[in-house]
């Protein structure tokens, strides 16, 4: 069964594979994660993040049972990428649902 709430984030970067692997390695300390150089899945308690690295972007598909779960997923991804991608002045992914409270 598909979770009722979903969102997709996109970060235009030539370093997508590196960031995907950094995110997955970091999250693997606490949750179940599978990944390789171009794809990863992180099973958070509040939802699932499916990540894909292309030549020019990192794409994250989030699913959750609640809007709160989506918010937590966005915060987890954005806050960690802000640390990892500081050289690119990263602040937030371009999320499809710009105002998540409107979902």
Determine the pLDDT at residue 99.
56
Q: Regarding the domain with residue range 5-95, which homologous superfamily does it belong to in the CATH classification? A: Alpha-D-phosphohexomutase, C-terminal domain (3.30.310.50)
For 26-67, the pLDDT digits (tens) are: 999 999 999 999 999 999 999 999 999 999 999 999 999 999
What distance in Å separates the CA atoms of residue 65 and residue 86, rounded to the nearest whole number? 31
pTM to 2 decimals? Answer: 0.89
What's the maximum distance between 2 C-alpha atoms anywhere in the chain?
39
Confidence class of residue 103 from pLDDT cuts 50, 70 and 90?
A: very low
- For the chain, the average pLDDT equals 92
How much is the pLDDT for 76?
96
Best CA proximity match to 2, nearest among 51, 70, 44, 63:
63
Pair 82, 90: CB distance under 8 Å: yes
pLDDT of residue 100: 55
Q: How large a percentage of the chain has pLDDT more than 90?
A: 89
Q: Reduced to 3 states, what is the DSSP secondary structure of residue 85?
A: coil
For residue 30, what are the β-bridge partners? none
Structure tokens at 75: 């915060």
């Amino acid at each position: 069964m598909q979770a009722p709430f979903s969102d997709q984030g996109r970060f235009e970067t030539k370093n997508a594979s590196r960031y995907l692997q950094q995110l997955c390695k970091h999250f693997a300390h606490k949750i179940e994660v599978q990944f390789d150089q171009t794809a990863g899945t992180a099973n958070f308690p509040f939802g699932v993040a499916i990540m894909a690295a292309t030549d020019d972007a990192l794409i994250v598909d989030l699913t959750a049972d609640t809007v709160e779960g989506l918010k937590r997923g966005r915060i987890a991804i954005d806050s960690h990428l802000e640390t990892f991608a500081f050289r690119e002045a990263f602040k937030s992914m371009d999320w499809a649902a710009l105002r998540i409270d409107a979902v």
